[in-house]
Structure 1
């Protein structure tokens, strides 16, 4: 029979109490409590506790590390803060190609634009284009693409004939800012789980400038001094001027600022599908020339206000 001395009783009570506290702490962390021996060999013997396990009396449970916001912090993938900064300032090249569809606004005026011309209609409402982008990290970049527009002029005469075609083409440079959708949603609900699709969608906005060449190419019958296409064809569509006169249009170079908005869908690590809407207002000061001489009484402004929707596929290096 085991007997307990009065001197050992406080020690035993302290040991049992300590074991209970340790068990409660381990239970609150979802861990298994350490088994406590249910027998004592002699009075005053210490309680047997399993050792070398996290959360026991012999081995205190490790505390979660406190990382300073100024220290490099490793992400779940093992990327350090310095790696993230290097990625942010890394320069990436993007190249791609796509198709554009456009429409003209304010293309029919209450009065005449130039001479009897009072309307523009897109000759072809779509075109293919190349695009090149140079991006600093994920968020800021410069883009340049080549655009080409063509619209036929129409007059307010009885036959509503066309005198020629306005052609506008050249590079468009723009400064673009991107913000991934998961970053946007994280600003408002940091507690929500990250949606895998949100990390693939990247909205963007940008501003830019056109660098176009433009021309108003007169129809051959009109340029060579005939009164109608039918008379020109009846004359055999000659390549010389009727009565020595030659009529032409001149358009002064004009550029415009552009606004663009859109979104990218990341198809993989380097491939993306991009949809963009662009808007610009061009107004060309134009004049009528006869036999190489300008007619000061026949000048005007031809509006070329367009909105373009594009879809392109890009590869990121």
Structure 2
């Protein structure tokens, strides 16, 4: 008895045989790992068209347009003041001089105090960390409740939250100042944290509600059948699937809170001024010669944390957006 290749049987044996040979041939010629990579990346274009060349030119011009100010800032911060006055802003520094960076961090004057912007850095860390955690936690819980626990008036509440997300927060400043002053919290660390949580709640609720609305409702129903309650389902079922959207929310909140100026200026108080306010004081507190290298170094140090967050977790941000952050 000879051992051969099994042939398909039945009324459709001819078409099945052709399909079998085609599948076998493709499997033998292309490894599975390579097929997966090619399917993931897509087919590479074989020729450059006029539209693709135009797209590349547009992307290159846009990149130069947005990167040019940053390049000028870095080059200026590494030069001495005589070199800045006598040379071009695009000229490379004669030698790497980090004196402006050291002075901006530790000894630049922000008004009457000359302790640099390091004080503002630690104030921004103390403000950003709890504000980000509490705003994300509140937004996730509220978005989960609005998606699966359809309480009476949920649509009205969501509409009010959306209205708060799109109204300019400058119109709320004076009423909030009066309210915090009456309860004795104005110009304190707790005050600025509460303010950031309140203003971050609408957009966080919108993001998490849209994400949870895209999850299968059968998961929630099965957890309810098994006896899960509100917090049990959220903690054991919903939260483990929320990693991409949690990273998106963290990036958005860290960036918004760290870069905030007006809320920190109004609500933080003199002892808790964030880094952006300290940067403004450094730039506007110069007596005599304006030290452009110092100002540029202080600006780059202030923007370093949001840039680092984007560089480290940028791919997670894209994944989270694709997973449903802007779907709805």
Higher-Rg member (1/2): 1
TM over 0.5: no
Category of TM-score, reference length = shorter chain = under 0.3
Using the size of structure 1 for normalisation, the TM-score is: 0.17
